[in-house]
Amino acid sequence: MKILVTGGAGFIGSHVNKLLLDQNHQVTVVDNLSHGSKDNLDSRVNFIQEDLNDQPKLEEILPGHDAVIHMASLIEVGESVKNPVGFVENNILGTIKLLEAMRKSNVKKIIFSSSACVYGTPLKTPITEADSLQQQENPYGLTKVSMEQLCILYHKLYNFDVTILRYFNPYGPGEQHIPETHAIPNFIKSVLAKKPIPLFWKGEQVRDFIYIKDLANAHILPLTQSGLHIYNVGTENGTKVIDVINKIFEIVGYKVEIDDKGERKGDVQTLVASSRKIKNDLGWEAKVGLEEGLKETIDFFNR
């Protein structure tokens, strides 16, 4: 298949690209490089530096592709609270222009990278796909809900094949955002530099940390699906953030100080997935445990 990957120069996209290429798919990456990097790109991809808000350019690029994996979005929760307009313009407007370009190019299969944040503050855990979406805690979550709804609308109106993947908390080798705002890479870099670890809520939040290689594989399996499907992608295991830090200390063999950052607006206390649906439908399940994944991630940052 010929696959277009938006945001493919980012952390998750780079792993998805490699899997696609290794399975003999042709890959076109569209990325504006506002957060991604050419250094993340496999030499086998066809790279086009472009912004999703340029719909006419997308209409030139899309013909001949069989599917789109849509991963291009601003993702940092705290930044979305500071800059909601930027998140709406980039995430929501970029998505509707992509979908319109797909419709006009007769490319009607999309796999969309969503987020567990769409559940807001969940009423229970583990969270299933049948659970209602609660009031959003931050603009990032609001944009993801809107992006999902746009994809679902195009399924209903134009018979698009749509698979929505709701990620929980990805981590792993290759995560090098500038600035880096995700917990695990920041923890590891602080520990390796023997500097205090920045920590919100005293690390009492509970998260479902999913290793990048497991997450990337979840994007390949839906390529043969038709219709509309929504899946959680997580390990089904919740871990306190402070326990992740203690596991990093255990792996490296020493501790550093904690920089207590107090509370942070927009955070949800607990997010843990039920991933039974994607396992039943596609045979996908997380295979890499937290300790193994942390060791590989620490090795990456050591290198």
Give the pair of three-digit tokens for residue 285. 């399940």
Residue 140 annotated as catalytic: yes
The one catalytic residue among 119, 140, 171, 231? 140
Task: Transcribe the chain into DSSP letters.
Answer: -EEEEETTTSHHHHHHHHHHHHTT-EEEEEE--SS--GGGS-TTSEEEE--TT-HHHHHHH-TT-SEEEE------HHHHHH-HHHHIIIIIIHHHHHHHHHHHHT--EEEEEEEGGGG-S-SSSSB-TTSPP---SSHHHHHHHHHHHHHHHHHHHH--EEEEEEE-EEE-TT---SS---HHHHHHHHHHTT-PEEEEGGG--EE-EEEHHHHHHHHHGGGG--SEEEEEES-S--EEHHHHHHHHHHHHT----EEEEE--TT--SEE-B--HHHHHHH-----S-HHHHHHHHHHHHH-
Catalytic residue positions, numbered: 140
